[in-house]
Amino acid sequence: MSAILVSQEAGVLTVTLNRPEKLNAFNPEMHRELRRALERADDDAEVRALLLTGAGRAFCAGQDLAERDVSPGAAPIDLSVSIGSYYNPLARRLRALPKPIVCAVNGVAAGAGANIALACDLVLAARSASFVQSFSKIGLVPDSGGTYFLPRLVGTARAMGLALLGEKLSAEDAERWGLIWKVVDDENLLPGATTLARALAAGPTKGYGLLKKALYASPGNSLDAQLDLERDLQREAGFSEDYREGVSAFMQKRAPRFKGK
Ligand code: T3D
């Protein structure tokens, strides 16, 4: 059985984490398959949006802890190897993908599973889903970008509470706190996320990629630097076919037909 399921329709590459009996916890195989899927999303011009979700009752429980030998006498584990080889490249790849990523959090998202969801562009969660920074429960530090995303999304006070206490945050509170885009009823999660991803896939892909770049660069930039970046990215966007189409469609009072070019 593959650790992920991949399908492509209407410009959307749907990737489903597929270790439901393990709450879709990460193992090296899942990391490798996910990396290949993200490379495909990047390389294939027919793919204009990505949808990430999980099979079964969980979105992802983070690292598969059964893979770590912590028995008495076992050698110390250098976790920087796993973080450097798998989790950091994954968070970077998600952030750098020049196409929109919708994450449909179908159930609990814990540890790296929670933070990988936060690395996506639009996070939708089922009403029954939850987010857990479970790292402190096992003596670890939030990873996969958690210490970067959390304070920026919800402020340091709430980030600290989530990280120190490792308690479940309901999807509704996650939406109220500004951690995610939207909560939807469980039965509407996949249909809603698919509709959203298809709408994005029919949009001005180049412009979306550039706006991701601008927004994600913003927290590290001064206003001056950000204004310069906006100027440069707008220059690039203005050279796109989709910009010409967008303006023409507006002037002609018709719906635009974007090609992602
Ligand atoms: O090692 C490195 O590479 C470093 C990088 C680390 C990145 C990380 O993600 S560290 C954090 C790892 N994840 C966790 O600590 C989460 C552990 N899981 C939980 O806290 C809970 O299971 C959940 C909050 C996710 C869900 O709770 P609940 O009550 O809905 O389910 P449960 O009963 O706890 O779990 C169901 C089964 O899944 C259970 O197995 P069993 O008893 O039915 O055979 C449980 O052991 C298993 N499971 C859940 N999470 C993991 C897991 N098995 C392995 N690894 C897991 N992460």
Residues 6+ apart with CB under 8 A from 241: 259, 261
- Over residues 120-157, the pLDDT tens digits come to 999 999 999 999 999 999 999 999 999 999 999 999 99
Q: Is the CB of 62 under 6 A from ligand 1?
A: yes
For residue 80, pLDDT beyond 90: yes
Of residues 130, 132, 125, 131, the one with CA closest to residue 186: 125
Asked whether the CA dihedral 23, 28, 30, 35 is positive or negative, the reply is positive
- Over residues 109-121, the pLDDT tens digits come to 999 999 999 999 9
* Whole-number Å distance between alpha carbons of 118 and 179: 8
For residue 237, pLDDT beyond 90: yes
Per-residue H/E/C for 120-178: CCEEEEECCCEEECHHHHHCCCCCCCHHHHHHHHHCHHHHHHHHHHCCEEEHHHHHHHC
Q: What is the average per-residue pLDDT within 202-212?
A: 98
Residues 6+ apart with CB under 8 A from 212: 95, 97, 98, 100, 121
At 161, which amino acid appears? G
Q: Is the CB of 134 under 6 A from ligand 1?
A: yes
Q: How far is the CA of 15 from the centre of ligand 1 (A)?
A: 21
pLDDT at res. 1? 81
* Whole-number Å distance between alpha carbons of 167 and 163: 8
* Whole-number Å distance between alpha carbons of 75 and 217: 40
Q: Is the CB of 129 under 6 A from ligand 1?
A: no
Map residue 54 onto helix, strand or coil. strand
Please state, rounded to an integer, the average pLDDT across all residues of the chain. 98
Q: Which of 17, 19, 23 is the pocket-test mutation for ligand 1 (most atoms within 8 Å of CB)?
A: 23
- Over residues 14-37, the pLDDT tens digits come to 999 999 999 999 999 999 999 999
Asked whether the CA dihedral 152, 154, 155, 161 is positive or negative, the reply is negative
For residue 249, pLDDT beyond 90: yes
For residue 86, pLDDT beyond 90: yes
- Over residues 156-179, the pLDDT tens digits come to 999 999 999 999 999 999 999 999
